[in-house]
Amino acid sequence: MLPKRAIMATNSSSISVSRLAEVTSRPNNVVGTHFVHPPQGELVVPQFSIMMPLVEVAKTEYVDEETFALTLALLERMGKDPEVVRDTPAFVADRFISRAGLEGGYSLGEADIKEIDAAIVYGMGMLFGIFQLLDWICLDVALDVCNYLEGALGEEYGAPEPLKLMVEQGCLGQKTGDGFYKKKVYLI
């Protein structure tokens, strides 16, 4: 049991913070704090993730002003850049990242993985390629997010076939050591 003043914060950008708040006895203490960075693992050293300043802070209709103000103050003390966003599927940053991932998956017939990632890194100035990111977050998680976003936002967010195929064949990225960058399957 948490103390009554405890703030319950979620790092998710895909699960509705309002829905999470509704199943607690204290929805006024629930806030979304999505740290926008690649997940840590073998491929991403903790220092890289810690350096990323953006934290999307989702304010629900339930959260009280004291909880929200304390959350923002804590993030600022941590050296983060909290940006208030609506409690929408994928918030802002992941909505853009999701579109890039979908387009990357749909483009696999026109370019290979390394060409697509190079275009994103060198052409768009992102710190990492979309297929690198997919491998980091794990492909089954990415597929679950696509399925959720498709239900919430429409069929244009449906998972590309290469992602579905990778998951079906057990190639899940860093979770299995086998993803888009180290694959056993032939995609195209």
Closest Cα to residue 56, out of 103, 100, 97?
Answer: 97
CA 131 – CA 117 distance, rounded (Å): 7
How crowded is residue 50: how many other Cβ atoms within 10 Å of its Cβ?
A: 14
CA 119 – CA 125 distance, rounded (Å): 9
What type of residue is 69? Answer: A
Clarify whether 37 is annotated catalytic.
Answer: no
**Among 13, 34, 35, 113, the one annotated catalytic:** 34
Token pair for residue 154?
Answer: 């429409």
CA 87 – CA 63 distance, rounded (Å): 12
CA 71 – CA 73 distance, rounded (Å): 5
Active site residues: 34
